[in-house]
């Protein structure tokens, strides 16, 4: 099995690189090793996929944090096949020079020939505790995204001069190339498919019309969510270009394992350790639940693995449709002889004698040995 290279090494950036540096490094490698620029070059294709894999992880704050802590073991789905272009609004802008209109159609980033283009949707993985999933919570998220440039108001121009029609494509945003019997349309390399050229680009956004900003968002997580639930925050994705609609933010929920409770849907499961005497004679025992301490009545003669159900003490069902239950599994403890006092051991021997069961260190046997040897 081939050993994966460090993602920072792949992109050629330092571990402290910001999102713009990561994006710039990926842009450079994507153009350099793209298969259309290197037809039939397997090595270039592998480097192209490797760069895409590294960017997928390092451009996502959550995946980057897991990778920084655990390395490749901390991220999953990192292969090029798992690459999600929705996490990178300018993916089509980077590679559009090679794919043309067809690429934009596939990834929802069709060139607008200078017109409005919608912003990309973003995804964020939010990890919460079991108690937070049961009762709901509010979280503050910091989301890096592309926003309309405040200096040029999204026009990309520094002054008032209007964009000029691209001379290479005549304003169409595409140039046509003949290849044998076929005519292929590709994105214009001069205007990048815009159809126009900005003669005096904005100094803050370099003519792109958008700049990267970190947005702070308050997210209300409803009670009853579990791992795999996705929340949609409309209009919290990346801003569109040239007045295009803003994308959405999708928050994927992941619930951390609890040290004492297990969850299945709205129901909570826990284990209750009881002594042999409690199992035989019965007892009332206080147990912890998500709703605070509750009393469980253990009837006499309780066996190992019996269950007791606390109605309504589980997780609230999503949408407020009542609560699940808390199910308690009993586990009968067998004491370690080394932890018992002589009196406790003597009582157990007496019990064994009453049951007519022989045990090690039977007192009658010991007495006979003492009598034999005086």
- In this predicted structure, the answer to whether residue 282 has a pLDDT above a threshold of 80 is yes
Q: Is 301 contained in some domain?
A: yes
Say if residue 125 is in the same domain as residue 229.
yes
Over range 313-341, report the average pLDDT: 90
Q: Which residue, chain included where needed, has tokens 């994966």?
A: 4
Enclosing domain of residue 87: 1-109
Choose one of 195, 224, 257: the last residue of a domain: 257
Query: For residue 365, is pLDDT > 70?
Result: no
190, 211, 284, 347 from 248: Cα distances, Å: 31, 17, 52, 70
In this prediction, residue 372 carries a pLDDT of: 42
Tell me the pLDDT tens digit for each residue of 190-245.
Answer: 887 888 888 889 999 988 899 999 999 999 999 999 999 999 999 999 999 888 89
Residues 25 and 141 in one domain: no
Q: Do 272 and 243 have their domain in common?
A: no
pLDDT > 90 in the chain, percent: 42
How would residue 258 be classed by pLDDT, with cut points 50, 70 and 90?
very high
Q: What is the pLDDT of residues 163-192, one digit of tens each?
A: 888 888 888 888 877 655 456 778 888 887
Q: Please check the confidence at residue 366 and state whether its pLDDT lies above 50.
A: no
Q: In degrees rounded to 5, what are phi and psi of residue 346?
A: -65, -40
Spatial neighbors of 151 by CB under 8 A, at least 6 apart, are: 158, 202, 203, 204, 205
Residue 362 lies in a domain: yes
Closest by CA position to 89, among listed 217, 223, 241: 241
* 100 and 125 share one domain: no
The whole-angstrom separation of Cα 16 and Cα 204 is 23
Average pLDDT, integer, range 125-139: 96
Position 168 scores a pLDDT of 87
Same domain, 32 and 93: yes
Residues 286 and 314 placed together within one structural domain of the fold: yes
Give the residue-averaged pLDDT of 321-326: 94
- 133 and 253 inside one domain: yes
What pTM was estimated for this model as a whole? 0.59
pLDDT in tens, 294-311: 999 999 999 999 999 999
pLDDT digits (tens, 9 = 90+) for 70-112: 787 777 544 443 344 334 444 444 544 444 433 433 333 344 4
Within this chain, do residues 18 and 140 fall inside the same structural domain, yes or no?
Answer: no
Count structural domains, the chain: 4
What is the Cα–Cα distance from 46 to 52, expressed in whole angstroms? 10
Are 91 and 28 found together in one domain? yes
Answer yes or no: is 224 within a domain.
yes
Q: Is the dihedral of CA 122, 99, 37, 113 positive or negative?
A: negative
């Amino acid at each position: 099995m081939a050993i994966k290279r460090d993602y920072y090494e792949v992109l050629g950036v330092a571990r402290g690189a910001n999102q713009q540096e990561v994006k710039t490094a990926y842009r450079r490698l994507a153009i350099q090793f793209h298969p259309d620029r290197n037809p039939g070059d397997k090595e270039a294709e592998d480097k192209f996929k490797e760069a895409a894999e590294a960017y997928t992880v390092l451009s996502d704050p959550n995946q980057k944090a897991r990778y920084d802590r655990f390395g490749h073991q901390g991220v999953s789905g990192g292969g090029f096949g798992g690459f999600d272009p929705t996490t990178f609004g300018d993916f089509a802008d980077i590679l559009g020079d090679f794919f043309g209109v067809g690429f934009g159609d596939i990834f929802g980033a069709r060139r607008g020939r200078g017109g409005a283009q919608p912003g990309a949707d973003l995804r964020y993985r939010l990890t919460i505790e079991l108690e937070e999933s049961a009762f709901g919570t509010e979280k503050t998220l910091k989301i890096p995204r592309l926003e309309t440039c405040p200096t040029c108001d999204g026009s990309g121009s520094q002054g008032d001069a209007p964009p000029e029609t691209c001379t290479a494509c005549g304003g169409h945003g595409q140039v046509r190339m003949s290849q044998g019997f076929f005519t292929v349309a590709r994105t214009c390399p001069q205007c990048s498919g815009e159809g126009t050229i900005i003669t005096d680009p904005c100094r803050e956004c370099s003519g792109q019309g958008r700049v990267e900003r970190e947005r702070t968002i308050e997210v209300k997580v409803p009670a009853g969510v579990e791992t795999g639930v996705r929340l949609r925050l409309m209009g919290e994705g990346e801003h569109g270009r040239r007045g295009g609609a803003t994308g959405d933010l999708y928050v994927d929920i992941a619930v951390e394992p609890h040290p004492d409770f297990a969850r299945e849907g709205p129901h909570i499961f826990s284990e209750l350790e009881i002594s042999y005497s409690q199992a035989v004679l019965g007892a009332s025992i206080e147990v912890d639940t998500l709703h605070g301490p509750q009393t469980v009545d253990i009837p006499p003669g309780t066996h190992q693995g019996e269950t007791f159900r606390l109605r309504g003490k589980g997780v609230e069902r999503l949408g407020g449709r009542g609560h699940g239950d808390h199910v308690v599994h009993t586990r009968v403890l067998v004491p370690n002889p080394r932890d018992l006092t002589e009196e406790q051991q003597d009582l157990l021997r007496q019990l064994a004698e009453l049951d007519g069961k022989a045990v090690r260190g039977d007192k009658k046997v010991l007495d006979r040995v003492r009598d034999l040897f005086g």
